[in-house]
């Protein structure tokens, strides 16, 4: 369905079919049907999963970019995680989390983003082998650009900057997790320089957190991970 009126239905359908085929080769199949909508929105894409169906939202700029299949592979990963009831994508686990995880005051938005990146890690554990191709350059280029965007977005609000540092930690941590970056890569310097300019030193902690998330945690273990993310954010926020 083309809601933005800019075309691209066939392109999205073809890209989706190809991603679905590559997942199928790895024995990852969705039970529920997917409807795609092309919409005007500031982010590349998103998805929404209900009991019996998924909706994939693709932005106009994603359709026109060379990353359409990467985006679809990522969102497809979220859909698979939702269907399998993975702790990171489970409503029951969110409810328990809300009761148990103390989020520092003022950090709700930054923490919400950092939590979304936990879900992104688990979606990408499935998506990377599907879209990354040989040598892992696509993922590297994408996440290097991600860090550069964050660096350029630095502002005056400490929590906001901490959210960006966590986002850098996610980007680099995702590459570390899939062994697509070396310890002396210049991307580390850019992420650490952002921290220094913001008055904290935290990105290495976030990288380690995202890189080492356990593959398939039970709900209790997952909530313990979320708590450690909240602690990491609270520690980083207090001026040293
Ligand atoms: Zn995502």
- What pLDDT was estimated at residue 132? 77
What is the arithmetic mean of pLDDT over 122-127?
96
The pTM for the full model equals 0.94
Ligand 1 centroid – CA 170 distance (Å): 12
Q: Is the pLDDT of residue 4 over 70?
A: no
Mean pLDDT score, 145-159: 94
Region 187-206: mean pLDDT is 96
- Give backbone dihedrals phi and psi of 142, rounded to 5 degrees, phi first: -60, -50
Residues 128-148: what's their mean pLDDT? 86
Looking at every residue in the chain, the average pLDDT score rounds to: 92
- Tokens, residue 34: 């997917």
Q: Report the alpha-carbon distance of residue 67 to residue 31 in Å, rounded.
A: 25
Domain ranges of the chain: 9-67, 88-237
Predicted confidence at residue 5, as pLDDT, reads 66
189 and 153 Cβ atoms separated by less than 8 Å: no
Chain CA centroid to CA 171, Å: 8
Question: Residue 46 Cα, ligand 1 centroid: separation in angstroms?
Answer: 7
Higher pLDDT, 53 or 238: 53
β-strand partners of 36:
56
Residue 236 has a pLDDT of: 83
Q: Which residue has the tokens 């008055």?
A: 199
Query: If you average pLDDT over residues 213-237, what whole number do you get?
Result: 94
Q: How far is the CA of 240 from the centre of ligand 1 (A)?
A: 32
Per residue in 95-121, is it b (16+ CB within 10 Å) or e — as a string?
A: ebbeeebebbeebeebbeebbebbbbb
CA distance 175 to 40: 29
Give the DSSP per-residue string, 26-54: TT---SS-EEEEEE--SSSEEEEE-SS-E
Looking at residue 2, what is its pLDDT?
65
Distance 79 CA to ligand 1 centre (A): 10
Predicted pLDDT at 183 = 95
Q: How far is the CA of 76 from the centre of ligand 1 (A)?
A: 9
* 224: pLDDT strictly greater than 70: yes
239 CA → ligand 1 middle, Å:
31
Distance, in Å, from the CA atom of 166 to the CA atom of 160, rounded to the nearest integer, reads: 10
* pLDDT value of position 131: 84
Q: How far apart are CA 236 and CA 109, in angstroms?
A: 15
pLDDT tens string 50-78: 999 999 999 999 998 888 999 999 999 99
What pLDDT does residue 134 have?
61
What pLDDT is attached to residue 16? 96
**Does residue 176 carry a pLDDT above 90?**
yes
Tell whether the model's pLDDT for residue 33 goes beyond 90. Answer: yes
In the reported structure, the alpha carbon of residue 119 is separated from the centroid of ligand 1 by a whole-number distance in angstroms of: 7
CA 136 to ligand 1 centroid distance, Å: 19
Q: Which residue has the tokens 């795609």?
A: 36
Q: How far is the CA of 186 from the centre of ligand 1 (A)?
A: 25
Ligand 1 is an ion; its neighbours by CB within 5 Å are 120
13-28 average pLDDT score? 95
Say if residue 208's pLDDT is above 70.
yes
């Amino acid at each position: 369905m083309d809601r933005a009126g800019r075309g691209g239905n066939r392109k999205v359908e073809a890209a989706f079919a190809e991603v679905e085929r590559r997942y199928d080769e790895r024995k990852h199949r969705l039970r529920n049907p997917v409807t795609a909508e092309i919409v005007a929105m500031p982010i590349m894409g998103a998805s929404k999963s209900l009991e019996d169906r998924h909706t994939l939202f693709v932005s106009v700029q994603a359709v026109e970019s060379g990353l359409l299949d990467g985006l679809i592979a990522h969102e497809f990963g979220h859909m698979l995680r939702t269907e399998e009831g993975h702790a990171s994508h489970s409503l029951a686990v969110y409810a328990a989390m809300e009761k148990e995880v103390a989020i520092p005051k003022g950090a709700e938005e930054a923490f919400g983003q950092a939590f979304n990146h936990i879900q992104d890690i688990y979606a990408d554990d499935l998506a990377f082998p599907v879209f990354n191709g040989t040598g892992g350059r696509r993922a590297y280029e994408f996440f290097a650009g991600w860090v550069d965007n964050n660096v350029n977005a630095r502002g005056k609000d400490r929590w906001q900057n901490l959210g960006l540092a966590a986002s850098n930690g996610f980007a680099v941590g995702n590459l570390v997790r899939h062994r697509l970056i070396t310890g002396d890569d210049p991307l580390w310097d850019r992420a650490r320089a952002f921290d220094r300019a913001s008055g904290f030193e935290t990105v290495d902690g976030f990288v380690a957190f995202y890189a080492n998330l356990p593959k398939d945690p039970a709900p209790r273990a997952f909530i313990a991970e979320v708590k450690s993310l909240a602690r990491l954010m609270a520690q980083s926020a207090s001026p040293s």
